[in-house]
Structure 1
């Protein structure tokens, strides 16, 4: 279902303002759009590409927790079926009014990430190359009223 321009603009603002974290050995570490992610890159020194996505609440429409959890398990299985490793992550609103468990997928290329995002109905994902800033990928057409952002890729 296509989203209107106002909704897409609001979702971009929300995704840019969100808090993204990944977990290693019981500790949570930040990922910030527009900045490199040296902690995860140090933790996985052989990995060249990273992607973050969720299976929760497709197109940012809230669903029951049991449905979200079942889709999260399917996403985890799909990541591993592609020979990739997934690291626990989450995204949340700064005020914690919204939170989605997610996965950082190691060595995933852009076409694979986009295919998984579409399969699980996700509008926004993160992707970056080692040493480069984290980018937000929006699986829609940028509204004409929305100015380009240096770290947002509209992929339709």
Structure 2
């Protein structure tokens, strides 16, 4: 089932996602990710050609109950396992620490599979990058006319 994403201000949402702090825990070590920055430590520790951060929490960027988020997360994990996509616990949080959302860092997931999962779980945006390249934000929304293009944000119309 695909969920429709309806956002009041896509530009503000993209800015919040781009400024958020992301992290993954690999064998007890925490590695930070930032949109526009290289993730060399993650890549050295966990080599792959493609990387992605995805969550199933809060579809359409609307707060959802913990129980609903946990059910969606379990479904996402089941799908990642079914397609054989290696994944590690990860999270995103705003710079003030007031908001935190669990997700998964996925290695080797082909871009079309990431897009399909993002649409299925109603996500407005995901992180993605290829080995050796900076982390990018992919927004599954149209870029509003008042929002200028940004170097590390891709808008899918």
Please classify the TM superposition score into its range, dividing by the shorter chain length: over 0.9
The question of whether the paired residues in 1 share the 8 Å contact of 2:7 and 2:61 is answered with: no
Q: TM-score with structure 1 length normalisation?
A: 0.95
**2:84 maps to which residue?**
83
Aligned to 1:62: 63
User: Pairwise CA RMSD of aligned residues?
Assistant: 0.9
Match of 2:18 in 1: 16
Look up the SS of the partner of 1:117 in the other structure: helix
Gaps of 5+ in 2: none
TM-fit CA distance, 1:35: 1.1
Deviation of 1:59 after TM superposition, in Å, equals: 1.4
User: 2:54 maps to which residue?
Assistant: 53
Q: Distance in 2 between matches of 1:60 and 1:98?
A: 12
1:105-124 superposed matches below 5 A: 105-124=106-125
Contact 2:50-2:129 at 8 Å conserved across structures: yes
TM-score normalised according to structure 2 size:
0.94
Deviations 1:35-90 (A, max 9, x none): 11011101123x11001010000111001001101111110111111111111100
How many aligned residue pairs are there? 153
